[in-house]
Amino acid sequence: MTLVAVPIEVEEPNEVASALEDANLAKVGGADLVEFRVDVLAEHPEGVSAARQLVRESPLPVVLTCRSEAEGGSWRGEETDRVSFLEAVGTDDLAPQFLDFEEAVWSRSANIRQKVRLVVAHDQQVRPDRSRLVLSKHDFDGRPTDLTSRVAAMAVDADVVKVAWTARSLRDCLEAFEMPRLLGVPTVALCMGPFGLPSRVLAPKFGGFLTFAALDAASATAPGQPTLSELIHQYRFRSIDSNTEVYGVAGWPVEHSKSPAFHNQIFSEQQRNAVYLPLPVAPDATAFVATLESWLAHPGLDLRGLSVTLPHKETLASFVQECGGCCDEAVELSGAANTLRVDDSGNLHASNTDVLAIEEALAARIDLQGQSALVLGAGGVARAATAALLRLGAQVRVMNRTSARAEQLASSFGTSVEVVTTPGEVSAVVQCTSVGMSGGPDPKGTPIDPAILPRDAVLLETVYEPVMTPLREAFATSGGQTIGGLEMFQRQAAAQCRLWTGREPGPAALAVLDDS
């Protein structure tokens, strides 16, 4: 079983009581250990007695860590003083279960090694009342060039090897996954930063000794650390094992995506051994293809599906085609895919559930066979809307700020799509620009004067943040029928759920999208 440790920083003796309260919250929240970070406390004249109180009264087993500035902590004193502090805290019958010491100092000085060995249990002196030694190595700038040889050397002396480095891409996580098996000793191998989350959440899948989770977002001690609640509830950490299937949303950015909450809720409801992660992939096609190839090739990872978002939808379609995989009609028509499914034999299937969602939402309100419809915009969603409208039998007009891009879109669909500068008489309008989106280029604006849109047309607004954009509001106020972007989002996510699980999402999962 992979343990969950919650780090708690304690700087002053008068913070001991609240630190112990936090340790209780960690226990109630499902943690197995607390890591008391005493980098600052250790320099206080009463630091030893305060740290002893923490160890004595902690409701959970303790990792005691006094981290140096060189490895991301705050300890600035002499090494010998640091060892003396740890020695003084862990005397007699009172010893933290684990004592963290940095490999850089350990390997540099035989004198330090000898002193630390007096504090911890070791081969020549195995005493149950002594701490176990965690040798640790942290690199906030990237992967240490000598990582492999360093961890191998650490495994000789340590009870637990801990290595954490800032991932440069999701591919770094693959190396972290392999380390526990390769080293053969209890190992904590974690990637920090936005690309590192899989190494933290999937630690049980690869036999990691422990992972860290923050009590709340503000108390994280390393970049990319999830909260305890996210780890235990959203990612269902306790049910992850070597057979867990991996899914995720790949794009840039993905940190605010609602998809992990939605799909993990579905997996939970269906009691499926699967987890869904945010997977940031830098915005260039080469990075996307390299990441996808390496993740698909990893033998133990069980990557079974991806939601793919901006800006990688077109690259996913061409990747699956080039691999000899299967692209559905919506992908063939739109040239873009937002869903990857990997079947039991490892074959790839690309789908475009944006097309399906737009098609379903419009078909539920209006018969567009032989009718004219307007697409506003010429980006990725505009392509999906054009494909959906063509499948519904509509004659499609495209209008975009940059007319050359509209011409490009139209020509890729053939002569059936017309580029226009005014809407004319249309039965449906699909708004596919990012105008009106909060945080977008023009959150208060409208991409077209609402007064020139026919009142009896149906408006599908694809932007869902906010749910009521200025264009939708103006059109609805004048009596027009509107469909919101949230409905499109729910429909495309539900279609992904059907593709991956063969079942409909339950109401609780759909409520996750409504509430967020």
Q: Is 66 in the site for ligand NAP (CB under 6 A)?
A: no
**Which candidate in 39, 100, 172, 354 is catalytic?**
354
Q: Between 29 and 278, name the residue whose CB sits nearer to ligand NAP.
A: 278
Q: Are 118 and 83 in contact (CB under 8 A)?
A: no
Distance CA 95, CA 56 (A): 8
Considering only residues 59, 300, 379, 454, which one is a binding residue for ligand NAP as defined by CB under 6 A? 379
Q: Edge-to-edge strand order for the sheet containing 303-308?
A: 274-280, 245-251, 303-308, 339-342, 348-351, 326-327
Contacts with ligand NAP by CB under 6 A: the residue count is 28
Minimum distance from residue 480 beta carbon to ligand NAP (Å): 19
**Residues numbered 230-249 forming contacts with ligand NAP, rule: CB under 6 A:** none
Point out which span in 102-110, 184-192, 359-367, 374-382 binds ligand NAP (CB under 6 A): 374-382
Site string for ligand NAP, 294-323 (x = CB under 6 A): ----------------x-------------
- Give the CA distances from residue 99 to residues 54, 61, 94, 216, 487, in Å, rounded to whole numbers and listed in that order: 14, 11, 12, 24, 52
Site string for ligand NAP, 416-445 (x = CB under 6 A): ----------------xxxx-x--xxx---
Q: Is 450 in the site for ligand NAP (CB under 6 A)?
A: no
Closest to 422 measured CA to CA, from 474, 376, 358: 376
Q: Edge-to-edge strand order for the sheet containing 458-461?
A: 417-419, 395-399, 372-376, 428-431, 458-461, 481-483
Q: Are 505 and 262 in contact (CB under 8 A)?
A: yes
Partners of 59 in the β-ladder? none
Q: Are 153 and 107 in contact (CB under 8 A)?
A: yes
**Which candidate in 137, 138, 205, 312 is catalytic?**
138
Those residues whose C-beta lies under 8 Å from the C-beta of residue 461, and which sit 6 or more positions away, are: 431, 436, 469, 471, 472, 482, 483, 484, 485
Two structure tokens written together for 332: 């063939």
Q: Between 81 and 284, name the residue whose CB sits nearer to ligand NAP.
A: 284
Q: Between 246 and 432, name the residue whose CB sits nearer to ligand NAP.
A: 432
**Which candidate in 137, 162, 263, 312 is catalytic?**
162
Partners of 98 in the β-ladder? 63, 132
- Give the CA distances from residue 452 to residues 406, 422, 447, 478, in Å, rounded to whole numbers and listed in that order: 20, 8, 12, 12
Q: Between 58 and 352, name the residue whose CB sits nearer to ligand NAP.
A: 352
Q: Is 401 in the site for ligand NAP (CB under 6 A)?
A: yes
Distance CA 264, CA 270 (A): 10
Annotated active-site residue 27? The verdict is no
Q: Which residue number places its CB atom closest to ligand NAP?
A: 379
Q: Are 361 and 487 in contact (CB under 8 A)?
A: yes
Point out which span in 101-109, 159-167, 218-226, 377-385 binds ligand NAP (CB under 6 A): 377-385
Annotated active-site residue 256? The verdict is no
Q: Are 316 and 350 in contact (CB under 8 A)?
A: yes
Minimum distance from residue 347 beta carbon to ligand NAP (Å): 26
Distance CA 116, CA 122 (A): 10
Point out which span in 21-29, 103-111, 134-142, 484-492 binds ligand NAP (CB under 6 A): 484-492
Q: Is 400 in the site for ligand NAP (CB under 6 A)?
A: yes
Q: Is 402 in the site for ligand NAP (CB under 6 A)?
A: yes
Q: Between 226 and 278, name the residue whose CB sits nearer to ligand NAP.
A: 278
Considering only residues 53, 405, 466, 501, which one is a binding residue for ligand NAP as defined by CB under 6 A? 405
Distance CA 213, CA 225 (A): 6
Angle at 255 between CA 467 and CA 444, to 5 degrees: 35
Considering only residues 381, 394, 426, 430, which one is a binding residue for ligand NAP as defined by CB under 6 A? 381
Point out which span in 144-152, 258-266, 278-286, 488-496 binds ligand NAP (CB under 6 A): 488-496
Distance CA 417, CA 5 (A): 57
Q: Is 25 in the site for ligand NAP (CB under 6 A)?
A: no
Annotated active-site residue 313? The verdict is yes
Annotated active-site residue 162? The verdict is yes
**Which candidate in 205, 263, 312, 313 is catalytic?**
313
Q: Is 485 in the site for ligand NAP (CB under 6 A)?
A: yes
Closest to 508 measured CA to CA, from 176, 268, 257: 268
Annotated catalytic sites, by residue? Answer: 138, 162, 313, 354
Contacts to ligand NAP by CB under 6 A: 310, 354, 377-382, 400-402, 405, 432-435, 437, 440-442, 447, 462-464, 485, 488-489, 492
